[in-house]
Amino acid sequence: MNLPETNTVVFNRLRFVLVETSRAGNIGSVARAMKTMGFSDLVLVNPRFEDALSDPEAVAFASGAQDVLARARIVGSMAEALAGCNFAAAVSARLREFSPPVWAPREFAGHVAANGDLSAALIFGNERFGLPNQIVEACNVLINIPANPDYSSLNLAQAAQVLAYEARVAAGAGAPESPVGFHGDAASLEQIEGMFGHLEQALVAIDFLDAGNPKKLMPRLKRLFARTQLETEEVNILRGIARHILKANGK
């Protein structure tokens, strides 16, 4: 497939993040799935065994994609894994009460291909336990792969292959143009998390939020804002509002 030049950068803007992976073979298989579709940015968050990238099983299952393993990084936190990203998608077969908007793989792929300012991450959970709610709730979207409702569980590498394929097709098929009009820089995930922390302080200061019994207010607000695709300037405005609330309340 000859990819349009304007979309080839998709391959440099999409990161695959594996969280607490239990099987070395799955890491190698994901590396292989990525390479077959032209992707190479792989990050492991706290794999559950030592020497995850050089484990013989990982190397064997990579089957020609050892270069992806060699360039992969192991980190100790999601903040490190998502450094430099401004759009994150949790991949899960299990829907959550307070999840961000739910997208299909094709919708995600088209969005990333059409928006050149996005540095995106696909986040895959542990083979047995999946992703914890706090990681899902901090993402921009949750990706649910349509499958047989009687047996919807995909192997980790299979899920990665589906997403990598859709991203490659979106890059090569000419994704739709972004809507006409001004668009600022997409806010980074770090900026958005900082904004939520600042906003929470302000809501506590005006007694709108009980810090000892917060219930589900903040997850609901995160879900609300996830639908807006926040820009940097918008995050700054919200933090400015929070700052003035705290100042007015002597905080």
Q: Does some domain include residue 151? A: yes
DSSP annotation string for 76-118: SSHHHHTTT-SEEEEE-SS--TT---EE-HHHHHHHHHH-TT-
Q: Does some domain include residue 180? A: no
Structure tokens at 161: 């292959």
**Mean pLDDT of all residues in the chain?**
88
Same domain, 167 and 195: no
Q: Which domain CATH number covers 239?
A: 1.10.8.590
Backbone angles phi, psi at 18, to 5 degrees: -110, 125
Q: What's the mean pLDDT in 130-146?
A: 93
* Confidence class for position 175, pLDDT limits 50, 70, 90: very low
pTM score: 0.78
Q: Does some domain include residue 183? A: no
Same domain, 202 and 142: no
* Confidence class for position 182, pLDDT limits 50, 70, 90: low
Same domain, 24 and 91: yes
Q: What's the mean pLDDT in 18-31?
A: 96
Same domain, 158 and 244: no
Residue 67's alpha-carbon distances to 29, 44, 49, 108, 223, in angstroms, are 13, 15, 20, 26, 37
What confidence tens digit (pLDDT) does each residue in 33-55 have?
999 999 999 999 999 999 999 99
Same domain, 198 and 167: no
Domain extent for 236: 189-248
Cα 55 to the chain's mean position, in Å? 26
Q: Does some domain include residue 182? A: no
Distance (Å, whole) CA 105 – CA 144: 7
Q: How many domains does the chain have?
A: 2
Check pLDDT > 70 for residue 178.
Answer: no
74 sits in which H/E element: strand 73-75
Same domain, 148 and 64: yes
The predicted pLDDT at position 173 comes to 52
Q: CA nearest 201: which of 140, 137, 244?
A: 244
Q: Which domain CATH number covers 76?
A: 3.40.1280.10
* Confidence class for position 147, pLDDT limits 50, 70, 90: confident
Same domain, 222 and 124: no
Give the residues across from 88 on adjacent strands.
Answer: 121
Domain-ending residue, one of 137, 172, 207:
172
Same domain, 159 and 195: no
Same domain, 90 and 164: yes
